[in-house]
Amino acid sequence: MKKLLLLFIILNYFTTLAQITNTGKWRRTEKDSLDNALLLYDEKNYLLALPIFDNIYNHHPKEEFLKYSYGKCALYRADKYEDAYNLLSEIYAKNKKVQDIQYDLASAAHYTDKFDEALTLIDAYLINKRTSPEGKKNGEQLKRYINNAKYFVSKPTTAKITNIGSVINTSAAEYVPTITADESMLVFTYSGEKSKGGRMNAFLQPEKNGQYTEDIYMSVKINDKYSTPFPLDSINTIGNDAAISLSHDGNILFIYRDNGDDHGDIYQSNLVGTNFSTPTKLKGQVNSYSWDGHCSLSPDGQLLYFSSERGGGFGGRDIYRAQLMADSTWGNIKNLGDSVNTAFDDDAPYIHPDGVTLYFSSKGRSSMGGYDVFKTSMSLLDSTFKKTENLGYPINNTGDDRYFVLSADGKTGYYSSAKKGGQGLYDLYLIETNFGDPKPALYMVKGKTTKNNQNVAAKIVVEITSNNNKIYKTLKSSAITGQYVVILPPNATYKIKYSYDKVEYKSIDVDASKLVGYAEKDVDINFDFAPVKDTVKTIVTPTVAITSTVAVVTTKTLQVVKDNFVPRNKMQEKIMAYVEKYGDISYDGLDFRVQIAAYKFPKNYTYKHLKHLGKVENILLDDGITRITIGGKFNTIRKAFTHNKKVVLAGQTDAFVTAIYKGKRVYLEELEKMGIFK
């Protein structure tokens, strides 16, 4: 009876149209599909109804009510916005009295960046006497979204957004990316044919037309590229298991589960060896009887930012902060206040590794439509957030933009979206932020721990030496990759201790007391060597100003292993001396290359003896000389000289390292004068 009533209501919209649907000539399977679609439509489950209406409409393109139903459902999927606009435009041209058609078409015009048309439609909807009070409220909000979108699209930022690619994305849905601070690990949520539970209904019972359950997948970076992702079988069940965030060091994974009786809660899983442990519900006051569905852990592990629908907030979902108590439970819950939260939904908090910058998504404020990504910074005086900023277009657009995360250096962000032209329903996207702001103030120490050429999980203890050796953090490197990452705030000095099999191997000192901007250091630990302490020299280089341009020096410290290489000429001797003094300093715009020849007029060169040592390139610089280099760019002189030695040993004895800064050849002495080598 309910299905017939809904069909009657929809058909009633088209009483003035020339043609009304006659299902008498339809196949039985099509009628059954229509029944299912109408039920889903009635429950406002438009995303599930969409593919059914799409399929039926393709077989019956002249049926007006199918055109309307499909167009209406298409408003809820970003890659179908153009279909929604085209179909609803056809309906509106034939019958302007269809209920809420002006609002629906204004939404479609807004989603497809036709802002002037959208404003005309929504203004007509707002003055329409048939528009309900609730409709007018929604219309006013849509008008605000349209005006915001029109403004931000007219003033785009320099951010660049690209699909992360087919290694990660499939024809199914990949969403909610979460990363370690150094981007070495990527964990995300997957829903599709490979889902462990298959298609399920709302009661987690197998259902042919149900939704695929959610699973958690992980990928690690190998040679700066993410590997083929694999499911976390120690966590995934036949139900819904959704990844929501990683701790910045990759040792804690937070997931979301809804058991049907708690409205959705946050769980924690710890990396133990090569697997994540069985998730357990967070202890304390974070989870409530209401929905609690996203979180982000501060770099010191003491604060948890989370979103919740609990009562007492500003409206809808709000963002809160919890503190880790002495008994390892979460308490002292505080709403972040109206500088962050609005009367609309505020969700998906992400606290950056700097510990003070919070990114989140909101449907309020200056949103362009649905969720937009916003940024706010904590005041160190009172730990409050006071100023909120929209990240602008193209990071934000007229649809939902949510689950934004950012690398430690602030250069690369990630989020999920259903953009047109993607691999599937939802894809993961990489964002070159180009924020232009001063880089985050933090010191990142990262590297790899190995023994017998195998990756091992080492214990790492970080002490604040400027505060009576107070323990700042304890963590473990990954048993899978051997990698670890430690985030250190500025204005302090630290000691990092590494141990394996209960034997302390090494400790290094890091002086971040005068740090300005962003710096990082690589420390690889090989447990095959005898225990050593304080053998790695720490180079702390703050932000340096050169010709009024602020640039950030990134320092990388590696264990130096002597070899028996003998320089073949004075240039190689000179470079070897510079490697000893400045080997691991890198700088924005500076790279090093291994030069094997140079010419002002073209000559014929052959390098068959070097073909195994990388690509040979011709580089014409501003001095008019073309330099022939091999092996590509290197960001430190040590890495370049390591390759230089291989080239020499292969027979090119006159090869040497040359430095190029912002497209110009520079001498090593100049780098000292400029303050880059210091």
Q: Is the pLDDT of residue 14 over 80?
A: no
Mark whether 505 and 638 lie in a shared domain: no
Q: Is 564 a domain residue?
A: no
d(CA 616, CA 608): 11
* Residue 253 confidence (pLDDT): 97
For residue 473, give Cα distances in angstroms to 43, 249, 494, 527.
49, 11, 11, 22
d(CA 15, CA 289): 46
Per-residue pLDDT tens over the stretch 258-284: 876 667 899 999 998 878 999 999 999
Q: Is 436 left (phi over 0), alpha (psi -120 to 50) or beta?
A: left
Strand 518-522 versus strand 442-451 pairing type: parallel
Q: Is 544 a domain residue?
A: yes
Strand 214-222 versus strand 590-599 pairing type: unpaired
Q: Is 560 a domain residue?
A: no
Mark whether 480 and 398 lie in a shared domain: no
Q: Is 561 a domain residue?
A: no
Mark whether 225 and 337 lie in a shared domain: yes
Question: Tokens 């996203």 identify what position?
Answer: 294
| End-of-domain residue from the set 411, 432, 453 | 432
Question: Which residues, 6+ apart, have CB-to-CB distance to 619 below 8 Å?
Answer: 593, 626, 627, 628, 629, 660
Per-residue pLDDT tens over the stretch 141-185: 999 999 999 999 999 999 999 999 999 999 999 999 999 999 999
d(CA 458, CA 477): 5
Q: Is 563 a domain residue?
A: no
Domain range spanning residue 532? 442-555
The answer to whether residues 632 and 613 touch, using CB atoms and an 8 Å cutoff, is no
The answer to whether residues 549 and 438 touch, using CB atoms and an 8 Å cutoff, is no
For residue 22, give Cα distances in angstroms to 7, 25, 60, 64, 65.
12, 7, 11, 11, 11
Q: Is 678 a domain residue?
A: no
d(CA 650, CA 653): 8
Helices and strands: H and E segment counts in the chain: 11, 42
Mark whether 493 and 507 lie in a shared domain: yes
Mean pLDDT of all residues in 47-57: 89
Mark whether 403 and 303 lie in a shared domain: yes
- The structure tokens listed for 495 are 């000691």
Per-residue pLDDT tens over the stretch 560-619: 334 668 888 888 888 988 988 888 888 888 999 999 888 766 656 677 788 888 888 888
Question: Which residues, 6+ apart, have CB-to-CB distance to 4 below 8 Å?
Answer: none
Per-residue pLDDT tens over the stretch 359-398: 999 999 999 999 999 999 998 888 899 899 999 999 999 9
Share of the chain above pLDDT 70, in %: 89
The answer to whether residues 149 and 369 touch, using CB atoms and an 8 Å cutoff, is yes
Q: List, in sequence order, every residue forming a beta bridge with 297; answer none if it has no partner.
A: 304
Mark whether 149 and 164 lie in a shared domain: no
Per-residue pLDDT tens over the stretch 535-563: 333 334 333 222 222 233 333 333 333 46
Q: Is 222 a domain residue?
A: yes
Q: Based on the structure, what is the number of domains in the chain?
A: 4
Helix (H, G, I), strand (E, B) or coil at 484: strand
Band (4; pLDDT cuts 50, 70, 90): very low
Per-residue pLDDT tens over the stretch 289-319: 899 999 999 999 999 999 999 999 999 999 9
Compute φ and ψ for 583, nearest 5 degrees. Answer: -55, -30
Least confident range of 480-489, 521-530, 662-671: 521-530
Helix (H, G, I), strand (E, B) or coil at 378: strand
d(CA 338, CA 342): 6
CATH number at residue 12: 1.25.40.10
Mark whether 183 and 297 lie in a shared domain: yes
Q: Is the pLDDT of residue 120 over 90?
A: yes
CATH number at residue 174: 2.120.10.30
Mark whether 240 and 365 lie in a shared domain: yes
Mark whether 462 and 575 lie in a shared domain: no
Mark whether 86 and 122 lie in a shared domain: yes
- The structure tokens listed for 8 are 């009657």
The answer to whether residues 477 and 552 touch, using CB atoms and an 8 Å cutoff, is no
Mark whether 122 and 177 lie in a shared domain: no
Vertex 75 angle, CA 73 and 80, to 5° = 95
Average of per-residue pLDDT values in the chain = 86
| End-of-domain residue from the set 511, 528, 555 | 555
d(CA 551, CA 590): 11
Mark whether 74 and 174 lie in a shared domain: no
CATH number at residue 452: 2.60.40.10
Q: Is 11 a domain residue?
A: yes
| End-of-domain residue from the set 105, 138, 154 | 154
* Residue 544 confidence (pLDDT): 29
